[in-house]
Amino acid sequence: MTVIDRPALSVAVHDLPGRKPWRMFVVLFAIYTALGVWMNAGIGFIFTDSLSRVAAVSAMLLSRDPHFAAIGFVFTPLTAAVQIPMGLMGHWWPDLLRWNVTAVVMSAAFMAGAVIQIRGISRDRGCTRWVTVILTVLFAANPMIVMYAASGMSEAPFLFFVLWATRRLIRWMRSDDVHDLIGAGLAFALAYLTRYDALAPLFVAVVLVTVVSWLRFRPTAEERGEGAGPGLRLWAAALDGAVVMMPGFLAFALWSFASWLITGQAFQQFSSVYGNSSILEQAGAGTDSPIARFGFSITEMAVLGPALPVFAVLAVIYALRRRDTEVIVPLVLFGAILGAQTLLYVMGSTFPLLRFYISIIPLCFVLVVLIAPRGAPVVTRRPGAAASRSVSTYPEQAGPSLPLVISLCLLVGSTLVTFVAMGNARIAVLEHSIASAIIPGRQNLEEQTNLRTFAAERRIARYLDDLALPEGSVLLDTVQSYAVVASSNNPRQFVVPSDADFVRVLNNPAEHHVEYILSVPNTGRGVSDAVNRRYPTMYDTGAGGVGALVLEVPNDGGMDPSAWRLYRVTGERQTGR
């Protein structure tokens, strides 16, 4: 290893062209946002989890009891929190919330950033311009990347933060710069505040950094003179690991503490009636065997990254040939994410969804970058003692190598495989319905039904808005009726679970001037609905006099509930039992 000369390095930093690709980001952001508006508002293809976060933003900002805790603690907060500035505009422009636009802007920005990270990893490697351009364009145009850039889901920020951490750790393997470790630690913390999945790559990153630091520790002459022993080596390695771990640990501890302090439950995702465990139980967990579930996970990864085995083998072979340790980083980080998702599904703790395996796409791209030889020394301001500025001297550096060209061709083929697979209802449960909107002549009744998701909720919201009700007039639980709140021009008319007085109002609606109760069937997810838990017969009979049926709205969107029933509060009986 050779220590980089810092003055020369400083010059290299300032001379490096195009280090801040704002134009590319703006163009990608604009394209993804336009596609998202078309997908959500144009054809009505809105993801449920995405709109539920928008409803949380509405409750936090525009409800009758606005407060930050209304964002909820079942999911980590960043996906909804970054929508706050635009969500404030929903007071004057309700369509931003009704059509999921605030979420679209969020995901478009983060996915554009993820594309920039792929470009940055390629440039850090010193790849030629044509390789960088091809990789960037292929990643940006991958159909799964495009869909989740336009969907408003958490995949976009999660991929951005994991790619940011991956880039920083790849750089650190060559730079030994503590600033790269700090950047990776911050990226993992923000990834955790986006999705719980980040705990898996954070854990393996801490182990990786600690082991690598321990292996390559070299005491200075002064330290050797003072008799530096194994203790100093262990301390230095542990310190590097702690730099990566602490931001994520603090994010985990503070978010869990806040959840416990406000709700009494530190981990609502697992203990709350609104969490994944309860949803799986209410929906009826599948009867597939663990082997069948494992096979399904392999299938999902195969259609998103069919050439991954080839990329992994080539990257490892060239890494061994060049004594290049950087390949370890993407393999362990993305491998941890994919392994955790597979394990959770095999255990029956999550859902059979293609999006949970989307991390395999950036893994393939990063491995292809690492197949290319190093074309430039690492660029960093404060290299550590173990830094290296070595550049490959292999013959393929003079021109495009055959393995690299083959890998790029395989990326094109993989993109086509993914595109075809996304139209398969068994493989792509959430994604396939859009095919009926983009493929001429495709008339699939189930897909067209899915494209009407939330149409019934918008009709309910319009009906209630036309009544011009005063504040706190409609009682509902957002477990299934969140889209009604998000679609309304007057969110203050609703009494929702995040309101401080929700339980008191639920116990005696008439006394608190509630005029209507929106009810869902007491089956499936409706079992967790607070109205059903308080008044088990509300949907069927009006809870024996609590309400009188005014309106029934069938759900023509192909999802639960089958229909909503709106009851006018009579005040005749409040026990509801």
CA 35 to chain centre: 18
Tokens 């980083």 sit on residue: 329
Q: Are 43 and 471 in contact (CB under 8 A)?
A: no
Tokens 């999705």 sit on residue: 195
Cα–Cα separations (whole angstroms), residue 294 to 131, 155, 337, 346, 422: 35, 22, 15, 6, 20
- Across residues 220-234, what is the average pLDDT? 65
Model confidence at 9: pLDDT above 50? no
- Least confident window among 60-74, 223-237, 241-255, 540-554: 223-237
> Is the dihedral angle over the CA atoms 47, 53, 55, 57 positive or is it negative?
negative
Label residue 4 exposed, middle or buried (CB < 10 Å: 0-12, 13-18, 19+): buried
Model confidence at 397: pLDDT above 50? no
Model confidence at 269: pLDDT above 90? no
Average pLDDT, the chain: 88
- 295-325: pLDDT as tens digits: 999 999 999 999 999 999 999 999 999 888 9
Model confidence at 17: pLDDT above 50? no
- 127-149: pLDDT as tens digits: 999 999 999 999 999 999 999 99
Helix (H), strand (E) at residue 247 = helix 230-263
Model confidence at 577: pLDDT above 50? no
Instruction: Say what the pLDDT of residue 204 is.
Output: 98
Nearest Cα to Cα of residue 366 among 531, 537, 162? 162
- Residue 417 three-state SS: helix
pTM over 0.85: yes
The rounded distance, in Å, linking the Cα atoms of 169 and 166 is 5
DSSP one-letter string for 263-298: HS-S-HHHHSTTSHHHHHHHH------HHHHHHHHH
Model confidence at 518: pLDDT above 90? yes
**Percent of the chain beyond pLDDT 70?**
86
Residue 543: phi and psi, rounded to 5, are 60, 40
Cα–Cα separations (whole angstroms), residue 182 to 243, 492, 531: 6, 43, 47
Instruction: Say what the pLDDT of residue 531 is.
Output: 96
- Across residues 198-217, what is the average pLDDT? 95
Model confidence at 179: pLDDT above 90? yes
- Across residues 471-477, what is the average pLDDT? 97
Instruction: Say what the pLDDT of residue 29 is.
Output: 98
Model confidence at 229: pLDDT above 80? no
| Residue type present at position 547 | G
Model confidence at 293: pLDDT above 80? yes
Instruction: Say what the pLDDT of residue 273 is.
Output: 65
Model confidence at 389: pLDDT above 80? no
Instruction: Say what the pLDDT of residue 221 is.
Output: 54
Nearest Cα to Cα of residue 201 among 332, 42, 344? 332
Instruction: Say what the pLDDT of residue 155 is.
Output: 97
Model confidence at 239: pLDDT above 50? yes
Tokens matching residue 161: 């933060």
Q: Are 142 and 415 in contact (CB under 8 A)?
A: yes
Instruction: Say what the pLDDT of residue 459 is.
Output: 96
Instruction: Say what the pLDDT of residue 277 is.
Output: 65
Instruction: Say what the pLDDT of residue 393 is.
Output: 42
User: CB within 8 A of 48, min separation 6: which ones?
Assistant: 453, 559
- 560-571: pLDDT as tens digits: 898 999 999 997
In this prediction, residue 396 has a pLDDT band, given cuts at 50, 70 and 90, of very low
The rounded distance, in Å, linking the Cα atoms of 131 and 560 is 47
Model confidence at 47: pLDDT above 70? yes
Label residue 163 exposed, middle or buried (CB < 10 Å: 0-12, 13-18, 19+): buried
Model confidence at 16: pLDDT above 50? no
